[in-house]
């Protein structure tokens, strides 16, 4: 089985290959905002808009709509702020933003890299998850 972009790739250790190392990651909620806006603009331009969208676009839009944890653009911004404050890598920010782990154990299982090299202790992780839960509650 050929691996994409070299043998080293492993998201759990943040090895994403050079093309994506510095790329900006997007949470599902952010992608939903971008795609919906594009969808609306194109629909206004022409009546026969549905035929203009590729299957990839439609599938992605459906997917991000279904799995967006935050609907409100303000909330999405706040989530990013909370996560960025904790010096997480872009990729980690987005995995947590997408999956919304509820416990420290879960967060460490989903994003093993946050617990490595003493980057964050359990208390810090717990505080971060609590902050996220608050945003979701008052969205």
Partner 1 sequence: MFFHIILERNLQLHPRYFGPHLRDKLVSKLIHDVEGTCSGRHGFVVAVTAVENIGKGLIRDGTGYVTFPVKYQCVVFRPFKGEILESVVTMVNKMGFFAEAGPVQIFVSNHLIPDDMAFQAGDVPCYETSDGSVRIQKDSEVRLKIVGTRVDATEIFCIGTIKDDFLGLTGDPGGAA
Residues that bind partner 1 (CB under 8 A): 1-5, 9-13, 16, 19-20, 23-28, 30-31, 34-35, 38, 54-57, 59-60, 63-64, 66-67, 91, 94-95, 98-99, 101, 105-106, 109-110
> Closest distance between partner 1 and the C-beta of residue 43, in Å?
14
SS3 (DSSP) at 70: coil
Nearer to partner 1, 110 or 115 (CB): 110
Nearer to partner 1, 74 or 105 (CB): 105
Q: How far is CA 26 from CA 31, 43, 52, 65, 105, in A?
A: 6, 24, 24, 14, 24
Nearer to partner 1, 78 or 97 (CB): 97
Distance, CA of 100 to CA of 111 (rounded, Å): 11
> Closest distance between partner 1 and the C-beta of residue 74, in Å?
20
> Closest distance between partner 1 and the C-beta of residue 109, in Å?
5
Distance, CA of 46 to CA of 36 (rounded, Å): 16
> Closest distance between partner 1 and the C-beta of residue 50, in Å?
14
Nearer to partner 1, 58 or 74 (CB): 58
Distance, CA of 76 to CA of 27 (rounded, Å): 9
CA–centroid distance for 121 within its chain: 22
HSE of 104, CA atoms in CB hemisphere, 13 A:
10
């Amino acid at each position: 089985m050929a691996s994409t972009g070299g043998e080293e790739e492993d998201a759990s250790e943040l090895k994403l290959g050079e093309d994506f190392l510095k790329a900006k990651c997007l949470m599902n909620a952010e992608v939903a905002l971008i795609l919906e806006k594009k969808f609306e603009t194109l629909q206004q331009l022409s009546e026969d808009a549905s035929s203009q969208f590729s299957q990839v676009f439609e599938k992605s839009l459906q997917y991000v709509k279904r799995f967006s944890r935050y609907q409100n653009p303000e909330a999405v911004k706040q989530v990013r702020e909370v996560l960025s404050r904790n010096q997480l890598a872009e990729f980690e920010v987005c995995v947590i933003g997408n999956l919304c782990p509820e416990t420290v154990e879960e967060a460490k299982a989903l994003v093993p890299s946050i617990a490595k090299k003493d980057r964050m202790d359990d208390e810090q992780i717990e505080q971060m998850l609590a902050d996220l839960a608050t945003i979701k509650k008052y969205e």
